[in-house]
């Protein structure tokens, strides 16, 4: 399976979730947030094509890493490939974060309606930072998110309890 990336994996991020993390920069985003820091990731035709098995192999060689983070771009637009990576990463004992411009509640309803691949992906995601970047709500003091509307969500607890469970910024 192939995935379109904006750049090679970043292997030692400390700002895209807790601990040392590998970041997967998916290419293509439909949200077009004003003030987006990564406008080069918007086009669905740009970037580089990568093999999912190669990405998984790269991650398996990381020894000090706490987890991986899907960023972009919009990872949900390549949910099947991200799902395969996330599933294998969870088997390696690492945690998974995902940044999306979609709203968590909308993702859940679309899983049932038109995007079953989103439901498959979120089974393997521990934490989701949701919502578009809103320039008027930008706050540089926020950890792991850019604007105050965005939420750091414990995905699995939220699914079990049937309501949004936020995690502390840590």
Supply 51's token pair: 């093999």
8 Å CB contact between 28 and 43: yes
Residue closer to ligand SF4 by CB (options 44, 58) is: 44
Residue from 20, 36, 164, 167 touching ligand SF4 (CB under 6 A): that is 36
Verify binding: residue 38, ligand SF4, rule CB under 6 A: yes
Q: How far apart are CA 12 and CA 6, in angstroms?
A: 17
Q: What DSSP letter does each residue of 99-121 carry, written as one string?
A: E-SS-HHHHHHHHHHT-HHHHHH
Residue closer to ligand SF4 by CB (options 3, 62) is: 3
Verify binding: residue 72, ligand SF4, rule CB under 6 A: yes
Rounded to the nearest whole angstrom, what is the least distance from the CB of residue 134 to ligand SF4 in the complex? 9
Verify binding: residue 151, ligand SF4, rule CB under 6 A: no
Residue from 17, 47, 67, 73 touching ligand SF4 (CB under 6 A): that is 73
Give the range of 1-9, 34-42, 107-115, 158-166 binding ligand SF4 by CB under 6 A.
Answer: 34-42
Strands annotated E in the chain: 2-5, 10-13, 21-25, 48-51, 67-71, 95-99, 127-130, 151-154
**Spatial CA neighbour of 45 closest among 93, 16, 6:** 6
Residues that bind ligand SF4 (CB under 6 A): 29, 31-33, 36, 38, 41, 72-74, 101, 132-133
């Amino acid at each position: 399976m192939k995935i379109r990336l904006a750049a090679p994996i970043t292997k030692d991020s400390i700002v895209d979730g807790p601990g040392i993390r590998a970041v997967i920069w998916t290419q293509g985003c439909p949200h077009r947030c004003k003030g987006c820091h990564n406008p080069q990731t918007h086009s669905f035709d740009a970037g580089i094509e990568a093999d999912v098995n190669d990405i998984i192999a790269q991650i398996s060689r990381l020894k000090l890493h706490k987890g991986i983070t899907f960023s972009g771009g919009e990872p949900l637009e390549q949910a099947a490939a991200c799902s395969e990576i996330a599933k294998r990463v969870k088997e390696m004992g690492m945690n998974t974060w995902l940044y999306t411009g979609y709203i968590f509640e909308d993702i859940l309803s679309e899983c049932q309606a038109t995007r079953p691949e989103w439901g498959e992906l979120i089974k393997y995601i521990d934490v989701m930072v949701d919502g578009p970047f809103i320039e008027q709500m930008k706050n540089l003091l926020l950890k792991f998110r850019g604007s105050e509307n965005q939420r750091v969500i414990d995905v699995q607890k939220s699914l079990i309890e049937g309501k949004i469970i936020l995690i502390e910024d840590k």
